[in-house]
A and B are shown apart, each in its own frame.
Chain A
Amino acid sequence: MNPRLAVWVVNGLLAGLAAVSVFPLLWMVSVSLMPAGASTTLPTPVLPPAVTLDNYRTLFGGVGMGRFVFNSLAIAVLATLISVSFNVMAGYAFAKLRFRGRDAIFKALLAALVIPGQVAMLPLFLMLKPLGLINTYGGAIVPAMASVFGIFVVRQFARGIPDDLLEAARIDGASEFRIFLTIVVPLLTPVLVTLAVFSFLGSWNDFMWPLIVLTDDALHTLPVALAGLSREHVQDNELMMAGSVVTVLPVLVLFLALQRHYMAGLMAGGVKG
């Protein structure tokens, strides 16, 4: 193909795809700034006829969105802290420490990846009831406290740590825990960040489990609250869009800031050969 034409075609197509990808998100912001009822007029406006923050005021005032933001944030942060800690410890153990049954257990974990999480949802719900964790932050966090995927990614990364580094520290008389904390964790920092981003995103965006386990509306996370609102306020587009903005913006910002780590993790987990 003519190279000049190729440049236009390729970049044109990319621009078109990018526009389609991003437009709904931009429109979401635009509608959230429109006065109530403006988006259900013909022709449907793309830009707000008049910019107003009323929808956000209603959202945080009447609907009490602030509470849901806090719930999402608290649950995501707690889940991330716990799961990163647990996954890093286990990932390193599987990579570098020999203990009885290590390989067999790891194979079993890989096999578990095939089982969809929803199989465990109903019984988990029944199990949490006597533990008193239904309708609590704990109930929402508990299934996310460790993940096979996280352990796998850490293990892959940790295998790259040179054994002589660890041996030298052992010869110097350092305890295994000391080695883990002072040598291994700093070396694993990139994968820690990746894991943290994955975990935070996963928890923030999680829908089905918080829907099931959090019944009190004061505990609802943003996706659950938004789903409830969308059933109740079918007519109020602008309010719904404002709710979507509040739900989506934090993770978009987080992603934009840390995308290099996120992509690195994806590719490390994904590419073969």
Chain B
Amino acid sequence: MRLRELGRGSRRNALQRLGAAAALLTLGGCGRRDSPEGPLNFWAMGREAEVVAELLPAFHARHPDIRVHVQQLPWTAAHEKLLTAYAGDSLPDLCQLGNTWLPELTALDALEPLDQRVDASAIARDDYFAGILDTNVMPTPAGNRLFGVPWYVDTRVLFYRSDLLRAAGHPTPPQSWAEWLAAMRAIRQRDARSYGVLLPLNEPDPLFALALQQGALLSDDDTRGAFAQPPFRRALGFYAGIFAERLAPAMTNAQIANVWDEFARGLFAFYVSGPWNIGEFRRRLPRERQGDWATAPLPGPDGPGVSTAGGSSLVIFKRSQKKAAAWQLIEFLSDPATMQRFHALTGNLPPRRSAWRSPELAADVPSRAFASQLERVRAAPKLPEWERIFQEMQYAAARVVQRTQGIDAATTELDASVDALLEKRRWLRTRAAASPR
């Protein structure tokens, strides 16, 4: 009996000890990293995160006392992770931020204004493409402030099979919507199995670029939807018309087994995409196809058109306790030489004109379409709800393409849901206007 009692006692003691350890671990918040002595927490997305690791040794050489921990977020989950981290008070020190997400984070007052740091540093504002830098400037009660430093730019241009186009009787890329339609029709006529263009139904950017070319998408100081107005309807009409004529397959990008294989095989001749695909095309297309593709700026309704002003910026979070160190990293990554190395590794285009003067970029033929397009970019509306409206726009377009709704019904419904999404914004505006400041 005594032996068993001893056994019981020690089990109880063990349990108590474990319980205490558990309490300590849980209270201690095992895993917390935001003390001033810890490493710099840097969140980056997708391929950029992988590449940053290669750039870091040079940074360590200059700043041996700063350790950097890079966390990679997949693009598909990055937006929700950022906001969850904000809600849970576990944001990193700095991160890569898609510039369309800046309005959201500034509405949350989560970002540190960077004007003073930029002015005190070697970063020259006018070296940046004006439209791109502008996407980082947000209004605050104290005036316009810069909240991010552009890291790379992104826009959408046409990638196309030059050989297929030539064989169909179009030796030069199209410059207007009419020319583009004609080229796609000609290609389909030559080979009924191939399509003119691939426009995945779950990617909003191509439609968005077309919409930007036509006019404003929101009205009333960005508090109401204007999708049922003629400008967007024209864009959606053009977009849906492409599918109606079977010039594009009605598929999502999940249904295309491998975009590059299909492009190489000639399933479609045009593809609206961004700078990262320059490198991907070089890597993934077979060697015999390398001479058969090219890029061109987007055609607009009556001539070369505008495109999206995308890209990522580097931002510092207000609650970071290592802002000075974070700024050092931003300065390093904004250095034109580092930007050129970054471009070589990712194909991402630099936002600074001086970085464009490298021999590499100057000689890179596909990049020239981007250089030209970057002079014609328009920013997305700068409001926190934009990300959601952006998705809703594409859902409406998908419904029209799949003929579950006509353009009239779809755009009216879209405006109704956008108005509902912006209700809070309207209320906040009236409240701000009513209260004395």
Contact = CB atoms under 8 A, between A and B. Distances in A.
B193 interface: no
Contact of A231 (B8, B33, B74): B74
Nearest to A227: B77
Interface stretch (B84-92, B101-109, B115-123, B387-395): B84-92
Nearest to A233: B74
Contacts of A216: 31, 33, 71, 90
B74 A137 contact: no
Interface in A174-195: 181-182, 185-186
A129 B77 contact: no
Contacts of A38: none
Contacts of B19: 81-82, 85
A28 to B, nearest CB: 22
Given A81-B22, A216-B33, A134 B15 contact: no
Contact of B90 (A135, A186, A232): A135
B175 interface: no
Contacts of B4: 182
B344 interface: no
B76 interface: yes
Nearest to B1: A182
The main secondary structure of chain A at its interface with chain B is: helix
B29 interface: yes
B88 A231 contact: no
Nearest to B81: A215
Contacts of A133: 26, 29
Interface in A15-63: none
Interface in A101-125: 125
Contacts of B85: 135, 215
Contacts of B33: 216, 218
Interface string B138-182: 000000000000000000000000000000000000000000000
Given A78-B25, A136-B32, A181 B12 contact: yes
A65 interface: no
A82 B88 CA distance: 25
Nearest to B30: A137
B84 A212 contact: yes
B5 interface: yes
B14 to A, nearest CB: 10
A129 B27 contact: no
Interface residues of A, number: 32
Given A137-B31, A141-B26, A231 B71 contact: no
B18 interface: yes
Contact of A132 (B18, B29, B74, B76): B29
A138 B88 contact: no
Given A216-B33, A218-B33, A136 B26 contact: yes
B89 A232 contact: no
A236 B32 CA distance: 31
Contacts of A212: 84
A216 to B, nearest CB: 6
Contacts of B81: 215
Interface in B1-47: 4-5, 8, 12, 15, 18-19, 22, 25-27, 29-33, 46
A138 B25 contact: yes
A96 B8 CA distance: 21
B88 A135 contact: yes
A245 interface: no
A87 to B, nearest CB: 14
B72 interface: yes
Contact of B32 (A125, A135, A186): A135
A232 B5 contact: no
Contacts of B77: 228, 231
Given A218-B31, A231-B77, A125 B22 contact: no
B13 to A, nearest CB: 11
Interface string A204-235: 00000000110111110000000010011000
B33 to A, nearest CB: 7
A186 B30 CA distance: 34
A126 interface: yes
Given A141-B26, A216-B71, A134 B31 contact: no
B32 A182 contact: no
B207 to A, nearest CB: 24
A182 B84 contact: no
A217 B31 contact: no
Nearest to A214: B31
B133 to A, nearest CB: 30
A133 B26 CA distance: 8
A138 B74 contact: no
Given A134-B88, A138-B26, A215-B85, A231 B76 contact: yes
Nearest to A142: B26
Given A78-B25, A136-B31, 13 more contacts: A85-B15, A129-B88, A132-B29, A134-B87, A135-B32, A137-B25, A137-B30, A138-B25, A181-B12, A215-B85, A216-B31, A218-B31, A231-B74
30 contacts: A78-B22, A81-B15, A81-B18, A81-B19, A82-B19, A82-B22, A85-B19, A125-B88, A128-B88, A129-B87, A133-B29, A135-B90, A136-B30, A137-B25, A137-B31, A138-B26, A138-B27, A138-B29, A181-B12, A212-B84, A213-B88, A215-B84, A215-B85, A215-B90, A218-B31, A218-B33, A219-B30, A219-B31, A228-B77, A231-B74
